[in-house]
Structures are given as C-alpha cells and as structure tokens.
C-alpha cells in the first residue's frame, strides 16, 4: 500500500471516529433561553411569576432537565431574596381567557438536536410582595441530568414602573389575580417611535 493510501485511510478513520463520537457518544448540550417578558400576579397569601423558557439541546443524544429554580430580589444586599422552585407548567385556555395548569413541573426530556418551550409557573406562598417601583434581579438555577449542583446559571433583570406597581396594588386590593406582563432585560420600549439616529444607535 502506498504512503498516500495509508494517509487517506488514517484520515477516513479519524473522520469516522469523530462522527461516531458526535452522533452517539457526545453528552447532551442543553441550554436555556428566557423569554422576553414575565408575568406577575397576586395569589392568595402570596404571588406568582409566569416565565416562558425554551430549553435547547445541540447534541444528538437526548438530555434531561431535572428542575429549575429562581431567586427573585431587588438589587439591595440588605433585602431578603425569594427562592422559588418551579411549581407547574401552564398553558393559555382561550375559552375562559386564563392560564391554567398543563402539568405539575417536573423533569423534561430534551431530544437530540431539538428544543422544548414551556410557560413555567413559580408560586410564593408566604407573604405578599409590595412590587414597588424599581429594578429587580431574576436569577435562574437549572439542574441537568443527575448533577448535584445547577449546571446552568443565568442572571436577568426587569424594571417595574410606577404605573405597573400601581396596577399590581390595585389588583391586590380588588382581590384580582390578573397578570401584569413586564419585559426582561429591556433595552427599548416594545412600542415607540424612533428617529433615524435612534434607530442606528439602538438597532445598528
């Protein structure tokens, strides 16, 4: 066998080995994308957050998202934070115009080379939050497979305006659990007129 043929055979073997690893042996590669808005409403003796999440898996092997928790707080070290584990997956029921339980929150299998979107619901049961005007921090902790510690950690923020704060307080007084939707990591208002200069600066 010529030297060239040997090199070609070795190269083919390496390519086959790499392909086999990527398609059969490579562990799941799961990530999480947080939606652009979250919902906040009051519950009896507490409050809840509605957060759309999309889990992606770039590998060929399926993977498992075991659980997801959030830490919700104001950016002030003197204040306590709210640690909340996901409670339910929710869905929109257009017949009654409300979000209802789809299933209790639990492990999600993410197939290879695919994604899965869920509206996750987090309920705080002990004490009403005032939801004063200001900036809030929202941290995500996600456990993958059988890991003992969270494999994914993300930090996001949102701002509750004076009008949104008043709206939430009014709903509490009226004993209404109507949801107020608020943007996450907001860089620009969802509806606004732009000058040509603003368009270039904000949108490139």
**Residue-wise pLDDT tens digits, 133-189:** 999 999 999 999 989 999 999 999 999 999 999 999 999 999 999 999 999 997 667
Bridge partners of 32?
55
CATH no. of 25-203: 2.60.40.10
Q: How confident is the model at residue 17 (pLDDT cuts 50, 70, 90)?
A: very low
Bridge partners of 43?
46
Question: According to the model, what pLDDT value does residue 195 have?
Answer: 78
Q: Spell out the alpha helix ranges (H) of the chain.
A: 3-20, 162-173, 196-203
76 vs 108, higher pLDDT: 108
> What is the three-class DSSP state of 127?
coil
Question: According to the model, what pLDDT value does residue 14 have?
Answer: 55
Which residues does 179 contact at the CB level (< 8 Å), separation at least 6? Answer: 39, 40, 41, 50, 99
pTM: 0.84
For residue 203, pLDDT beyond 60:
yes
Q: What are phi and psi of 160, to 5 degrees?
A: -95, 120
Question: According to the model, what pLDDT value does residue 200 have?
Answer: 79
- E-assigned strands of the chain? 30-34, 37-43, 46-57, 63-73, 82-85, 88-93, 98-104, 108-110, 114-124, 134-144, 152-160, 180-183
Q: Tell me the average pLDDT across 68-84.
A: 86
Report domain extents, the chain: 25-203
Judged by average pLDDT, the poorest of 20-34, 81-95, 112-126 is 20-34
Which residues does 44 contact at the CB level (< 8 Å), separation at least 6? Answer: none
Q: How confident is the model at residue 19 (pLDDT cuts 50, 70, 90)?
A: low
Question: According to the model, what pLDDT value does residue 50 have?
Answer: 98
Q: How confident is the model at residue 127 (pLDDT cuts 50, 70, 90)?
A: confident
14 vs 43, higher pLDDT: 43
For residue 15, pLDDT beyond 60:
no
**What average pLDDT does the structure give for the chain?**
87
- Burial label for 139, CB within 10 Å (0-12, 13-18, 19+), is middle
Question: According to the model, what pLDDT value does residue 193 have?
Answer: 79
Which residues does 90 contact at the CB level (< 8 Å), separation at least 6? Answer: 50, 99, 100, 101, 102, 119, 120, 121
Question: According to the model, what pLDDT value does residue 8 have?
Answer: 61
For Cα atoms 122, 137, 107, give the angle at the middle one, nearest 5 degrees: 35
Question: According to the model, what pLDDT value does residue 5 have?
Answer: 61
d(CA 73, CA 75): 6
Question: According to the model, what pLDDT value does residue 6 have?
Answer: 58
For residue 12, pLDDT beyond 90:
no
- Burial label for 51, CB within 10 Å (0-12, 13-18, 19+), is buried
């Amino acid at each position: 066998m010529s030297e060239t043929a040997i090199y070609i055979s070795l190269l083919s073997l390496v390519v086959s080995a790499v392909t086999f690893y990527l398609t059969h042996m490579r562990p799941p590669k799961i990530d999480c994308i947080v939606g652009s808005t979250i919902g906040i409403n009051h519950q009896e003796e507490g409050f809840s957050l509605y957060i759309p999440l999309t889990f992606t898996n770039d590998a060929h092997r399926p993977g498992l998202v075991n659980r997801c928790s959030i830490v919700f707080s104001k950016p002030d070290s003197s204040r306590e934070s709210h640690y909340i584990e996901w409670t339910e997956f929710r869905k929109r029921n257009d017949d009654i115009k409300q979000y209802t339980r789809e299933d209790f929150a639990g492990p999600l299998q993410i197939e290879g080379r695919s994604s899965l979107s869920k509206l996750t619901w987090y309920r705080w049961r002990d004490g009403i939050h005032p939801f004063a005007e200001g900036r809030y921090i929202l941290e995500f902790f996600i456990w993958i497979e059988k890991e003992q510690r969270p494999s994914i950690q993300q930090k996001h923020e949102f701002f509750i305006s004076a009008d949104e704060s008043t709206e939430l307080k009014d709903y509490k007084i009226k004993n209404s659990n109507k949801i107020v939707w608020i943007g996450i990591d907001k860089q620009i208002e969802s509806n606004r007129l732009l000058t040509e200069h603003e368009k270039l600066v904000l949108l490139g």
